[in-house]
Amino acid sequence: EPEVTQTPSHQVTQMGQEVILRCVPISNHLYFYWYRQILGQKVEFLVSFYNNEISEKSEIFDDQFSVERPDGSNFTLKIRSTKLEDSAMYFCAAGGVVMGEQFFGPGTRLTVL
Amino acid sequence: AQTVTQSQPEMSVQEAETVTLSCTYDTSESDYYLFWYKQPPSRQMILVIRQEAYKQQNATENRFSVNFQKAAKSFSLKISDSQLGDAAMYFCAYRSERGSQGNLIFGKGTKLSVKP
């Protein structure tokens, strides 16, 4: 079973602070994604990443968010100045080997106080 | 824009019985993928089953099968011989077939309870 790992599993931060969420996708996947799930709501797409650049982003992914793959393995999501409404579960996903399929990491629970 | 609708916020099934979760979607595309994901209390997203729109045959994975009705834009999930471990949130998802880059569009989910 393919595996995507994410760290940390839970992050607590103060409003206005920067956070970096990390993902280590399966090495032979080509496309990487971040999704967000506010508690009790559906999973929402944030951004997709391919060939070291953003390929698509949603309206949620505003200037407070950024992504990068600094060393060819880790895939990070940065939120520059967190807001209370950023509290959610953030999922990393990887795909591109088997057409259509995306494999999700276990998620990072972000709590903004 | 594509949308995915799950009209059953909650469902309940007796252990060992069969349950069907509904999903409808709206798209103008002819080629796409459809998925069911399971989310247990741990909140991990687990792929249950997938269906390519160009395939007429319904996908099956052990106790899980789908009823894919392309003309009706319907994609229901049937769980046979339900087990306690099947209790979870189930999300239906759509993905465009354009290359491998398309993001998933999720429904709001159905919470399935399994009674012993």
Residues 6+ apart with CB under 8 A from B60: B49, B66
Per-residue pLDDT, A73: 79
Give CA torsion, residues A92, A63, A81, A54, to 10 deg.
20
Per-residue pLDDT, A99: 64
What would the pLDDT profile of B52-61 be if each residue is shown by its tens digit? Answer: 998 889 999 9
Q: Give me the residues paired with residue A87 across strands.
A: none
Per-residue pLDDT, B79: 98
Smallest CA-to-CA distance from A91 within A18, A30, A29, A42 is with A42
Percent of chain A scored above 70 by pLDDT? 95
- Residue B80, pLDDT > 70, answer yes
Classify the C-alpha dihedral A94-A102-A37-A59 as positive or negative. positive
Residues 6+ apart with CB under 8 A from B3: B25, B26, B105
CA distance B99 to chain A (A): 8
Is some CB atom of chain B closer than 8 A to the CB atom of A44?
A: yes
Per-residue pLDDT, B31: 87
Is some CB atom of chain B closer than 8 A to the CB atom of A18?
A: no
- Strand residue runs (E) in chain B: 3-5, 10-14, 19-21, 24-26, 32-39, 46-52, 60-61, 64-69, 74-79, 88-96, 104-106, 110-115
Q: B40: cis peptide before it, omega within 30°?
A: no
Spatial distance between the Cα atoms of A91 and B48, rounded to a whole number of angstroms: 17
Smallest CA-to-CA distance from A43 within B106, B50, B8 is with B106
Q: Which of A28, A41, A43 to mutate to test the interface with B (most CBs of B within 10 A)?
A: A43
- Residue B48, pLDDT > 70, answer yes
B71: helix, coil or strand? Answer: coil
Per-residue pLDDT, B99: 57
Spatial distance between the Cα atoms of A98 and B59, rounded to a whole number of angstroms: 16
Model confidence band, residue A30 (pLDDT cutoffs 50, 70, 90) = confident
- Residue B98, pLDDT > 90, answer no
Model confidence band, residue A2 (pLDDT cutoffs 50, 70, 90) = low
What would the pLDDT profile of B1-47 be if each residue is shown by its tens digit? Answer: 789 999 999 999 999 999 999 999 999 988 899 999 999 988 889 99
What would the pLDDT profile of A63-95 be if each residue is shown by its tens digit? Answer: 999 999 877 778 999 999 999 999 999 999 988
- Residue A1, pLDDT > 80, answer no
Cα R_g (chain A), whole angstroms = 13
Percent of chain A scored above 90 by pLDDT? 64
Per-residue pLDDT, B85: 95
Contact residues, A window 73-112, toward B, CB-based 8 Å cutoff: 89, 91, 93, 95-96, 99-104, 106-107, 109
Percent of chain B scored above 70 by pLDDT? 97
Cα R_g (chain B), whole angstroms = 14
